[in-house]
């Protein structure tokens, strides 16, 4: 009877630790090697952040980025959010001059899916696709962004026209955040081990 009791305690310890340690609602979004080719310069951006897929919110404090001259550094500007029609997750970063880079990730039924996203050249990106564009804030000739990107672009037929470029290279990978055991889970795991050890000792004495 005692053996069964300790065996049950050990089994419960292992069973209860698994679901409580899983963070299936949070994903890492890694953006690498976004490349924007201008007339006389090339701008690149790498960025990463975490996203909660259960309530479609940005995980505060999770954003980081690196960017290259001539326009960088580009830093966190707006909190990533879902478009009004629920089809896109939009990340926008900016520099000290107000120039910006926006990354658009296609959603699956209003959710960010795990996987490798394909670069798309035209708007809008679909599920597991992304599009990125750099835009200039200035209007005075000779400004660094206007000099690098003199061409006018328009992402959508009804969107605004601005100086900039669409990304020609880059990757976006969305992966689950690795499980982090909670304190209560670690306690249950410890009690499970103790139960198994006690069971083996009693079995040897029997």
Same domain, 116 and 52: yes
198: containing domain: 2-22+183-205
Domain count of the fold of the chain = 2
Same domain, 170 and 189: no
Predicted TM-score of the model (pTM) = 0.77
Token pair listed for 116: 């490798």
Same domain, 199 and 149: no
Same domain, 110 and 138: yes
Predicted confidence pLDDT, tens digits, the chain (206 residues) = 444 444 444 444 444 444 444 456 899 999 999 999 999 889 999 999 999 999 999 999 999 999 988 898 898 888 899 999 999 999 999 999 999 999 999 999 899 999 999 999 999 999 999 999 999 998 777 889 999 999 999 988 788 899 999 999 999 999 999 876 665 555 555 555 555 566 665 556 55
Same domain, 68 and 153: yes
| Cis, peptide link before residue 124, omega less than 30° from 0 | yes
- What is the DSSP annotation of 131-184? EEEEE----STT-HHHHH--SEEESSTTSPEEEEEE--EEEEEEEEPPP---HH
CA distance 158 to 102: 17
CA distance 83 to 100: 17
């Amino acid at each position: 009877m005692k053996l069964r009791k300790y065996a049950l305690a050990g089994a419960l310890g292992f069973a209860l630790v698994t679901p409580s340690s899983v963070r299936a609602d949070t994903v890492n979004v890694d953006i690498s090697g976004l490349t924007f080719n201008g007339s006389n310069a090339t701008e690149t951006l790498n960025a990463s952040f975490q996203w909660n897929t259960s309530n479609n919110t940005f995980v505060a404090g999770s954003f980081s980025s690196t960017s290259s001259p001539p326009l960088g550094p580009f830093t966190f500007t707006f909190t990533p959010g879902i478009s009004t029609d629920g089809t896109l997750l939009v990340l926008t970063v900016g520099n000290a001059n107000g120039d910006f880079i926006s990354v658009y990730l296609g959603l699956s039924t209003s959710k960010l899916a795990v996987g490798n996203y394909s670069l798309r050249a035209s708007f809008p990106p679909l599920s597991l696709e992304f599009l990125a564009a750099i835009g200039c804030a200035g209007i005075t000739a000779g400004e660094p962004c206007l000099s690098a990107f003199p061409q006018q672009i328009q992402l959508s037929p009804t969107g605004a026209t601005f100086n900039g470029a669409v990304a020609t290279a880059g990757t976006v990978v969305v992966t689950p955040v690795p499980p982090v055991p909670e304190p209560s889970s670690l306690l249950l795991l410890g009690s499970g081990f103790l139960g198994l050890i006690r069971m083996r000792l009693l079995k040897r004495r029997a």
